[in-house]
Amino acid sequence: MVDDIAGGNYLPFWAGFPLADIHRCIAPDVLHQLYQGVFKYLIEWVQHVVGIHELDERISKLPQTPGVRHFAKGISNLAQMSGTERKHIARILLGCLVGKMEAKGITACRSLLHFIQLAQYPSHDEDTLRYMTNELKTWHANRDYFIAQGARQQFNIPKFHTLLHYVDSIRWTGTTDNSNTEAFERLHIDFAKEGWRASNKRDVFPQMTSFISRQEKVSSFDFYQLWASSRLDISDSQENTEAPIDSEEPIQLTLAKNPTEPKKTLAAITLLHGAPGFLGALKLFLNFELLPKSDQRSRKKALKGIIPFNTLEIWHNFGLIPLKVLDEPEKALMKARPLSIQDKTSRFDTVLVLENDDAQSTAVQGDEDILCLRNYSC
């Protein structure tokens, strides 16, 4: 009977394979090991050091930004955090610690957050794996800060131990998106929850099976129709015309047909948008971007020039669909909305534009220590 219970003394299935290493078969799981494990502990320790109420206050006061959930009431009132919610918290947590945590604690949190992000790269090389190793070393060198603050007595936690094996696991089994259970959590909604809702809640398994089977047939038929129509379009077009395989699609931008504020004066833009350097930046843009090379002036002469118009058409937002290799792209709505009678709060989203491949894999950093959009803007 001892062999039938968990923890009994039994021979594992790999005992007869002398060349098998079971440790190499355990692949990383970003969702449950990192976000629902490591990051969960980190939030608890930060709440202990900073204070639950203080952390909630800081999180609730953060400005809204595209792609990040705004926690208007903080995070302590969340009864059960999902993996998606923890991802959004990871994007804002570090900025809420400035002024309330010592540099050693912030370094420890930063290194752990960097490791979590690096572990999710869709491709790796020796440089990115070295970045992961360095961030883990930084975490181990600074983690005793939480012991000194009384948030933790020791770090003998299995999920933190798994961090030591991430680099080797990536070398053995590939990137973590191959083994992340987040995709299967999403399939649970499609295959279980939606099927349950479509049933009459009695004798549900045959009904759920029929529901899933019908959904798959409809999806297959839609895919066939799409394939057939594309074949017809190709046959109707010119023959022997093929698009280059390595052609890159531009980033999709969407803009409203009519401006939010037509014919807004340059002086009002400078004042209401809080952009004291707007006129100078506009002169440089017109000089270096719109004029041909032969007519361009030096930076100094361009700044002394006169703008030949007094008003501009102003849009308060635009849609952006970035390129993604594996995941479905998500549309982000970028806003630049000043104070007005209708809007009592202003919002100005930050957009970083990379124009070359000099940026490092771990941050927006090129040959210089700052991001330069153009030579004239540095």
Give the pLDDT score at 3: 55
Q: Is residue 136 part of a domain?
A: yes
Domain final position from 154, 178, 202: 178
Rg (CA), the chain: 27
**H or E element, residue 311:** strand 311-314
Paired residues of 336 in beta bridges:
348
**Which residue type is seen at 254?**
T
| SS3 (DSSP) at 314 | strand
Is there a domain that residue 220 lies in?
no
Range of the domain at 275: 252-377
Q: Which pLDDT belongs to residue 59?
A: 94
Distance between CA atoms of residues 347 and 338, nearest Å: 6
What is d(CA 92, CA 56) in angstroms, rounded to the nearest whole number? 12
Domain end: 132, 158, 178, which one?
178
Residue 366 lies in a domain: yes
- Tokens representing 178 are 């191959």
Q: What values do phi and psi take at 325, rounded to 5?
A: -85, -45
Same structural domain, 38 and 144: yes
Burial status of residue 324 (CB atoms within 10 A of its CB: 0-12, 13-18, 19 or more):
exposed
Structure-block tokens of residue 204:
């549900």
Angstrom distance (rounded) from CA 266 to CA 369: 32
> Please, which residues bridge with residue 321 across strands?
252
Assess if residue 166 is contained within a domain: yes
Instruction: Verify that 150 and 67 share a domain, yes or no.
Output: yes
Q: Are residues 277 and 368 in the same domain?
A: yes
170 and 32, same structural domain?
yes
Are 161 and 272 part of one and the same domain?
no
**Can you give the pLDDT at residue 46?**
95
pLDDT at 154: 92
Give the pTM: 0.68
Q: Rounded to the nearest 5°, which phi and psi values hold at 201?
A: 70, 15
The whole-number pLDDT of residue 244 equals 42
Whether residues 173 and 27 fall in one domain: yes
Which pair of structure tokens corresponds to residue 34? 């990192």
- Residues 77, 171, single domain; the answer is yes
51: left (phi over 0), alpha (psi -120 to 50) or beta: left
Give residue 224's pLDDT: 86
Last residue of one domain, picked from the residues 122, 149, 178: 178
**Tally of domains in the chain:** 2
Examine residue 13 and state whether it is found in any structural domain, yes or no: no
Is 114 part of a structural domain of the chain? yes
The two three-digit tokens of residue 228, written as one number: 């057939």
25/174 same-domain check: yes
Flag residues of the chain having pLDDT under 50: 1, 237-247, 325-326, 366-378
CA distance 355 to 372: 9
